[in-house]
Amino acid sequence: MGASSGIGLRVAEELASRGVMVGMAARHTAPMAELQKKYPETVVYESIDVTRTDAPRRMKNLITAMGGMDIYFHVAGIGYENLGLDPQREVDIIATNSAGFARMICCAYRYFRDNGLKGRIAAVTSVAGTNGIGRLSAYSASKKCAQTYLVALEQLANAENADVTFTDIRPGWIRTPLLRDDVAYPMEMTLDYAVPLIIKAIVRHPRVAVIDWRWNLLVGLWRLVPNFLWTKVDMEISKPDFSLPSPGKEPFPNTALENKEKREV
């Protein structure tokens, strides 16, 4: 889920090239259609917008087209450095990363549980979910929500004796189309470097996988910082310090908001 670009598209291609049956889902179908042409025997796709109420029905159609599902992998998400705190931008992030996340994760869980199947749910959250980040307020909050939701469903699975396991994949900065080309991000990783680690986490399914070891050390330190000190940290996102997303890559195509905004200092 979220397979039209970045991590999702690359993971889908890596698995399909190895003969794994892959069901791809995202709002934009063109990249998925191209991959299906390349691997017609192992790729099927469906147009799914996780913020829409018809998304679970469309997901069921995709599962049927695949002939079943063993692993659900969720990577759909958006983010914006919204220093102006435009309410619509904050709501859009929460709608996709929290409400959309819950809509699709619970749909996958019900599929496994209600059919008495052994299943696995792997989801990309973020190291940003470790604590609130001022420049990524809604994004960091939404990722914490996603992490907590996985814990809640794992508890439910144990209570219901459902044979469903969960993996929370928490990457740091990965160079995807969202990031600006003209700036550098802390401990930034390429897709070539990060995707094999993500696939390894999907296959080996640890409960939590931080991508990579450097970020694992850093978030371990973040957890030790009390809130009264954390809230005094001025955490810049990039060098130079420009806001997200990349110019011309507005993550909210259904809004009338401008693509560029001036940062208030």
Instruction: Map residue 38 onto helix, strand or coil.
Output: helix
Q: Give start and end residues of each alpha helix (H) in the chain.
A: 6-16, 30-38, 55-66, 87-94, 101-114, 137-160, 191-204, 213-222, 227-230
Band (pLDDT 50/70/90 cuts) for residue 202 is: very high
Q: Which of 80, 94, 111, 100 is nearest to 27 (CA)?
A: 100
Q: Taking the alpha carbons of 183, 188, 193, 195 in that order, is the dihedral positive or negative? A: negative
Average pLDDT (220-248) is: 81
Domains observed in the chain: 6-230 (3.40.50.720)
**Stated pTM of the model:** 0.89
Distance CA 54, CA 21 (A): 24
- pLDDT of 259 strictly over 90: no
- pLDDT of 45 strictly over 80: yes
- pLDDT of 254 strictly over 60: no
Token pair for residue 216? 């694992």
- pLDDT of 178 strictly over 50: yes
From 75-79, 211-215, 230-234, 235-239, the region with the lowest mean pLDDT: 235-239
- pLDDT of 262 strictly over 70: no
- pLDDT of 69 strictly over 80: yes
Partner residues linked to 166 by β-bridges = 121
Distance CA 180, CA 51 (A): 25
